[in-house]
Structure 1
Amino acid sequence: MLQVNYIRENREKVLERLSVRNFKQLELVDQIISVDEERRQTQNSLDNLSAEANAAAKQIGELMRNGKKEEAEAIKQQTSTNKDKIKELTEKLNALEEQQHNLIVQLPNLPYHLVKAGTSADDNEVVLTHGAPSELPANALPHWELAAKYDIIDFELGTKITGAGFPVYKGKGARLQRALINFFLDKAIAAGYREMQVPHLVNAASGFGTGQLPDKEGQMYHVGVDDLYLIPTAEVPVTNLYRDVILKEEDLPIKNTGYTPCFRREAGSYGSHVRGLNRLHQFDKVELVQITHPEKSYDTLEDMSNYVQSLLQELGLHYRVLRLCGGDMGFTSAMTYDMEVWSAAQQRWLEVSSVSNFETYQSNRLKLRFKGKEGKTQLAHTLNGSALALPRIVASILENYQTEDGIKIPEALVKYTGFDRID
């Protein structure tokens, strides 16, 4: 979340950057500033009264030790009303702090200066395009028909067991899925990331720390009896490893990777664009998380974007990179790159990765700080990215590598699959 001091001292800039997001509740900014002013005044009054009470207690103690009981009792009478006032101010302060918190968590992150204004995906900037579309057979099929033809993914069986959006991978389909997970993890480890195995359920504090709560509770699966949430991405548990932690500057950057299944309700997702593997309620993903020095986070964002692109290049996929406009960015992001792969069979772009810099938005919630060489403690910057999300990568491989007599396996994956084609 944003820091209240920054909002108060940079009101016009905050309003301008929120407008880039097409954020409609700009009145929240002045409400936060007003509540903060009252909170600071209340804190000041409470501090003064507490100081007076402490001084009076000290004076009473000295008088009692010197046998001046009557004088001590007189001071007690004079200051007795302070206790009630202190209690009243403390209760008021607590209420104002809660009100301020409830207001400030409604503000999204401020877009970085390179982020352009816009209202939807149509306003995103194409940063680069790599490669060319695959030349497919005249009778090319979308991946859901290929999955049925070669009996490698069963959507109807998943619907019977659980419901729509929970496919069953079979035979070479399951082996391709596992191969991709191992390929992505091995590449990340070789690039200096530390592999982490983390819980697939998190508590509300973890969801709040990375910004899923209270913004996205409707998209998360909630286990009501235990008040836990199924993770929508490994970003949540991996980043929360450092909640309430003070790092040393020399520890930065911290680079972690992890494979997890991900669970998203995707409420309201209907239509042909979500067929097959295009949008699921459960899917596999290898995630990258970095914690960096604030001065280096945008260089890190570029490095992470280039790394994800290198994976797509090794898989031989035609892709493009988008810089998201303000209106299409996630609630917590300051700047995001999306990587999209061209589906020649569907004739559309499929998002396969999103790489974001959150600056201090998450670390302020997490109380994730580092101590600089001069001894000053400050908030770190956090970043994360998909490297990669499997469903649409699998869909892209099936569609773009199909031939008249089977589906070829990208050369980089053959040593992981143990086979070079699906037929």
Structure 2
Amino acid sequence: MLDIRWIRDNAEALDAALAKRSAEPLAASLIALDERRRSLVQALQDMQSRRNAASKEIGAAMAAKDGALAESLKAEVAELKTAMTTVEDDSRKADAELADALSRIPNIPLEDVPVGRDESGNVVKLVHGQKPGWNHTPKEHFEIGEALGWLDFEGAAKIAGSRFTIVKGQLARMERALGQFMLDLHTTEHGYLEVQPPLMVRDDAMYGTGQLPKFAEDLFRTTDDRWLIPTAEVPLTNMVREQILEAEKLPLRFTALTPCFRSEAGSAGRDTRGMLRQHQFNKVELVSITDAESSIDEHERMTACAEAVLKRLGLHYRVMTLCTGDMGFGARKTYDLEVWLPGQDSFREISSCSVCGDFQGRRMNARYRVKDDKALKFVHTLNGSGTAVGRTLIAVIENYLNEDGSITVPDVLLPYMGGLTKIEKAG
């Protein structure tokens, strides 16, 4: 969330930033809402002052035995009390209206973010590795997995409907191995604290990280008004909500391997085959809580941590700097890691690492204190996939395919595979 005081002082900068995101200018309407809110607050203060003064005057009039004046003042106080109730209601409504409007404004892109309307405006930051050189024909993951007997899309559809997958046997073990490998890497080498967070959260947690109110249709809600998490970013980031942290204890770094749940409301017709775009999937999440001065460097570090997963797996990938029109709602800058999928003959996103500035910190009222400084500052937050386990499984299936249809287990996963070196057809 942006600060209305900053908006009042930087109206042109806000509208320029919104234009970069292909959004309509909002500064004037937001300032008008704030003016109304401020005028109601001032009116209420004036009424309270007058009521207090009139109450004292009543006492003075009665002491002077001026009954007519006392009654007149009593009538004025009664009218003020009625009017104040109306103004208080209007003030609360104005507060709520401004808060709602502010909650729907996207974050301000950093100056070095490329300007563009959609993914066509994204810029290649780096390319790692090369496409696998084969003599056999590449295949898509769902062809390979079904032929081996370890992926069952039809069975999943009977149980749960579309966009679900049953992963079985040796491939299920490999997916588990991938998650374990990622957690071990991030906790033992990259300094992240492993967390097992709740998979259901309240409204204020979703609001804190920016999923609510704007993106409710992308979420699943329970019958008792909780939300299934779309990413572990939500509970991990909210671990510091409404807290005051000591600057010297920052950064805090958290990681979690969790199921994630997304309605994919805006993805009708996209990636309907296979397990690229699912309602339920596993992901290793990375979250950092930093001070204002460290967040940009932390963004580069977090991205490198996600890259390390793909490097250890020997996968060909590229890092893209997302343009203003393709960035997420709460991000100031985002790097997407896109892995090469031979079956699709294309790069596909496997991780997204974003720096959010104090955007989420304000929504969560999460602050930090610098030693010997009385002023509190809002924390800066970052989040990234380290990485999406299901999509990494897809990448391994397609990139490690052998001519006979089996899949070679990457060396880095061997300690987790119980002696399996190949994924072979179900017996």
2:355 corresponds to which of 354, 357, 374? 357
Map Cα deviations across residues 78-125 of structure 1 (whole Å, 9 max, x no partner): 544332332232122112112212222221111111112111111101
Aligned to 2:318: 320
Equivalent residue, structure 2, for 1:100:
98
Q: Report the Cα offset of residue 409 of structure 1.
A: 1.1
Offset, 1:323: 0.7
Cα distance change on mapping 1:90 and 1:159 into 2, 3 Å: same
Task: Name the SS for the 1:262 alignment partner.
Answer: strand
Shift of 1:195: 1.1
Q: Determine the C-alpha separation between the residues in 2 that align with 1:306 and 1:383.
A: 13
AA in 2 matched with 1:421: K
Contact 1:60 1:76 in 2 (8 A): yes
- Residue type of the partner of 2:408? K
After superposition, the Cα gap between the structure-2 partners of 1:67 and 1:115, relative to the gap in structure 1 and judged at 3 Å, is same
Q: 1:391 to 1:6 in 2, by over 3 A?
A: same
C-alpha contact 2:139 2:342 (8 A) present in aligned 1: no
CA distance in 2, matches of 1:139, 1:307: 32
AA partner of residue 381 (structure 2): T
User: Residues 61-210 of structure 1 correspond to what in structure 2 (within 5 A)?
Assistant: 76-190=74-188, 191-210=190-209
Partner of 1:394: 393
Give distance in 2, aligned partners of 1:96 and 1:307: 44
The more displaced of 282-291 and 234-243 is 234-243
Deviation at 1:258, TM superposition (A): 0.9
Distance 1:69 1:379 in 2: 56
Per-residue CA distance 1:192-233 (angstroms, 9 max, x = gap)? 11111111111222111111112221111122x211221111
Amino acid at match of 1:247: L
| Alpha-carbon offset, residue 281 of structure 1 | 1.2
Hey, what does 1:261 align to over in structure 2?
Answer: 259
Whether contact under 8 Å (2:408, 2:423) holds in the other structure is yes
Using the size of structure 1 for normalisation, the TM-score is 0.93
How many residues are matched?
A: 419
Letter in 2 for 1:420: T
Residue of structure 2 equivalent to 1:218: 217
Partner of 1:9: 9
Q: Relative to 1, partners in 2 of residues 1:262 and 1:335: Cα closer, same or farther, differing over 3 Å?
A: same
Do the aligned residues in 1 keep the contact of 2:12 with 2:27 (CA within 8 Å)? no
Match of 1:231 among 216, 229, 232: 229
- Residue aligned with 1:403, SS: coil
- In the TM superposition, residue 72 of structure 1 has moved relative to its aligned partner by 6.9
How has the CA–CA distance of structure 1 residues 48 and 183 changed in structure 2, closer, same or farther, with 3 Å as cutoff? same
CA distance in 2, matches of 1:268, 1:255: 31
Write the deviation string for residues 260-309 of structure 1: whole angstroms up to 9, x where unpaired.
10111112535574421221111000101111101111111011011111
Residues 22, 117 of structure 1: 8 Å contact kept = no
Task: Verify the 8 A CA contact 1:278 1:350 in the aligned structure 2.
Answer: no
In the alignment, the residues of structure 2 paired with residue 372 and residue 253 of structure 1 have an alpha-carbon distance, to the nearest angstrom, of 13
The residue type paired with residue 108 of structure 2 is: L
Distance apart, 1:54 and its partner CA = 3.8
Take 2:369 and 2:179, find their aligned partners in 1: how far apart are those partners? 36
Q: Which secondary structure does the structure 2 equivalent of 1:355 belong to? A: strand
Give the CA RMSD over aligned residues: 2.1
Are 1:415 and 2:396 matched, yes or no?
Answer: no
How far apart, CA to CA, are the structure 2 residues paired with 1:62 and 1:242? 54
Whether contact under 8 Å (1:363, 1:382) holds in the other structure is: yes
Q: Which 5+ residue runs of structure 1 have no aligned equivalent?
A: none
Residue by residue over 1:132-156, the C-alpha shift from the partner in whole angstroms, topping out at 9 and shown as x without a partner, is: 0111332332111110122222111
Amino acid at match of 1:207: M
In structure 2, the CA distance between the partners of 1:296 and 1:55, relative to structure 1 (3 Å rule), is farther
Residues of 1 paired with 2:394 and 2:49: CA distance? 67
Q: Aligned to 1:198, what secondary structure does the other structure show?
A: coil
Instruction: Tell me what 1:311 maps to.
Output: 309
Q: Separation in 2 of the partners of 1:163 and 1:213?
A: 26
Q: CA–CA distance in 2 between the matches of 1:241 and 1:54?
A: 44
Structure 1 residue 50, shift from structure 2 partner: 2.1
Paired residues for 1:360-375 under 5 Å: 360-373=358-371, 374-375=373-374
Provide the C-alpha distance between the structure 1 equivalents of 2:166 and 2:231, rounded to a whole number of angstroms.
20
SS at match of 1:402: coil
Q: Deviations over 1:50-92 (max 9, x none)?
A: 234345556767998x898968777545544332332232122
- 3-state SS in 2 of match to 1:326: coil
Q: Which residue among 337, 340, 348 is the counterpart of 2:338?
A: 340
Stretches of structure 2 that go unaligned for 5 or more consecutive residues are: none
Which residue in 2 is equivalent to 1:284?
A: 282
**1:136–1:344 CA contact under 8 A, matched in 2:** no
Provide the rounded CA distance (Å) in 2 between the counterparts of 1:241 and 1:69.
62
- Confirm or deny: 8 A CA contact 1:136 1:400 kept in the other structure: no
Report the alpha carbon displacement of residue 171 of structure 1 after superposing the two structures with TM. Answer: 0.8
1: CA distance, partners of 2:178 / 2:61: 79
Identity of aligned residues (%): 39
Q: Is the 8 A contact 1:20 1:116 kept in 2?
A: no
Q: TM-score, normalised by structure 2?
A: 0.92
Residue 247 of structure 2 is matched in structure 1 by 249
1:20 is aligned with what amino acid? Answer: K
For residue 422 of structure 1, what is the amino acid of its counterpart? I
**Gap change, CA 1:388 and 1:52, over 3 Å in 2:** same
| Residue among 326, 329, 347 paired with 2:327 | 329
Match of 1:19 in 2: 19
- SS of 1:34's equivalent in the other structure is helix
Question: SS at the partner of 2:351?
Answer: strand
